[in-house]
Amino acid sequence: MTLLETYEQNGVSPAIYSFGQEILAGLKDRFEKIDEMAELNQGKVLRAMQEARVDAACFAATTGYGYDDVGRERLEKVYAAVFGTEAALVRPQITCGTHALTVALSANLLPGDELLSPVGAPYDTLQEVIGIRPSPCSLAEYGVSYRQVDLLPDGSFDYAGIRAAIGPKTKLITIQRSKGYATRPSFSVPQIGELIAFCKGLKPDVLVMVDNCYGEFVEALEPSQVGADMTVGSLIKNPGGGLAPIGGYIVGTRACVERCAYRLSAPGLGQEVGANLGILPSFYQGLFLAPTVVAGALKGAVFAANCYERLGFRVIPGGAEDRHDIIQAVELGSEAGMRAFCRGIQAAAPVDSYVEPIPWAMPGYDDEVIMAAGAFVQGSSIELSADGPIRPPYAVYFQGGLTWYHAKLGILKSLQCMADAGLLPGMNRAQ
């Protein structure tokens, strides 16, 4: 059987297949660079595991209070080494990325303090956490105020605006690395480093937290290595490598991470409690696989960008641009386009491939959201997935793929569904 026949059996027409192959032929150098980055980060993760003396005892389950949990303590050492920080909090008790960010913020902001976002509006779910959209138990309810400085029209930092916004009450600055559900650019780690240096130049004792969701292992450095006091993310995204079934992490200075641990468990208890319930093998093994999994996801993102750009759609980042996270936005211009794209991704999945994604009112989001995710871990977006809020410019955010080949099939099937729905007028030109 040939490759073309495999794709045909998987519902991809010869025309779509050869269009994909033509695009791929131009991506060899990009893919080589992505592989090199995976190799670099693999070395980083391995060294951290060896230095922490990871062994079979780390994989044993603990229950109850979880005092003296060796596996938990060493995993936190491994994370601290990988991210170059004094301390780490890595727990299955952190339920998701939003929870990790909430812990980091609420542990380090007190009534009367001000939180500043110098990069525009934060991720949708954070808006309720902060109280930008009123919500019970938001930071606003506890007397923490919020200020925001939007990016300049070209997507760069508004340094004059930031200078004016940093004041005596500014306690913590939050920087989101990835674009999230916005069509602004994602930031590189060096860019984040410059912004942190600027803010700390104006106010040396200000704390900086970076929302690192989707950014881990995309670059050689992490935000924790360019001045962030806390770097925060989800284990069902990049660093869980597709194996972690739940969890979040906070890495950073000992002072900040200790407060996070007190907030997560209880004052006085902190990092000393938290049984691992037998979940740690997946955390260790997932972290071990994460650099390669991220590489596969990046190849998928670059491939998707180049396919859709060639067909005349606006893609962010552009096909030739450098990557700072694994997200690829594709502006499809209509709800029908979003549905067709997501239908293709869903149909390519190993799990739930027979269902049709439809928009729904997801908790924490203001608009209806459509999601394609046929994942082994529910809602995992390091697995091949696509989602987006149903609002102009009708952008779908595509990410993940535990293997590059799965990502490729998903993208080809999305193209097939778009073509079948009559939404690819440019396809004639491409053929």
Ligand X SMILES: *Cc1c(COP(=O)(O)O)cnc(C)c1O
Interacting residues toward ligand X by CB under 6 A:
96-98, 123, 125, 176, 178, 180, 211, 213-214, 234
Residue type, 125: T
Closest listed residue to residue 371, CA positions, set 394, 383, 354, 389: 389
Residue 121 or 144: the one with the smaller Cβ distance to ligand X is 121
- 178 phi and psi, to 5 degrees? -90, 155
Kindly state the tokens that stand for 79. 């994370």
Residue 58 or 369: the one with the smaller Cβ distance to ligand X is 369
The answer to whether the Cα torsion of 227, 233, 235, 241 is positive or negative is negative
Residue 62 or 385: the one with the smaller Cβ distance to ligand X is 385
Residue 180 or 344: the one with the smaller Cβ distance to ligand X is 180
For residue 385, the minimal CB distance to ligand X (Å) is 11
For residue 214, the minimal CB distance to ligand X (Å) is 5
* Distance, CA of 369 to CA of 144 (rounded, Å): 29
For residue 15, the minimal CB distance to ligand X (Å) is 34
For residue 193, the minimal CB distance to ligand X (Å) is 18
Residue 98 or 108: the one with the smaller Cβ distance to ligand X is 98
For residue 168, the minimal CB distance to ligand X (Å) is 28
Residue 97 or 388: the one with the smaller Cβ distance to ligand X is 97
CB contact set of 256 (below 8 Å; sequence gap of 6+): 87, 104, 107, 108, 207, 229, 230, 250
The SS3 call for residue 256 is: helix
Residue 130 or 423: the one with the smaller Cβ distance to ligand X is 130
Residue 31 or 365: the one with the smaller Cβ distance to ligand X is 365
Cβ contact 1:277 at 8 Å:
no
Residue 20 or 223: the one with the smaller Cβ distance to ligand X is 223
CA distances in angstroms from 162 to 186, 197, 237, 341, 394, listed in the order given = 18, 12, 30, 38, 30
CB contact set of 11 (below 8 Å; sequence gap of 6+): 347, 413, 416
The SS3 call for residue 2 is: coil
For residue 181, the minimal CB distance to ligand X (Å) is 8
For residue 125, the minimal CB distance to ligand X (Å) is 5
Cβ contact 245:279 at 8 Å:
yes
* Distance, CA of 226 to CA of 203 (rounded, Å): 16
- Residue 96 has a CB neighbour count (10 Å cut-off) of 19
- Residue 237 has a CB neighbour count (10 Å cut-off) of 30
Bond into 350 cis (ω within 30): no
For residue 266, the minimal CB distance to ligand X (Å) is 23
* Distance, CA of 43 to CA of 127 (rounded, Å): 37
For residue 102, the minimal CB distance to ligand X (Å) is 9
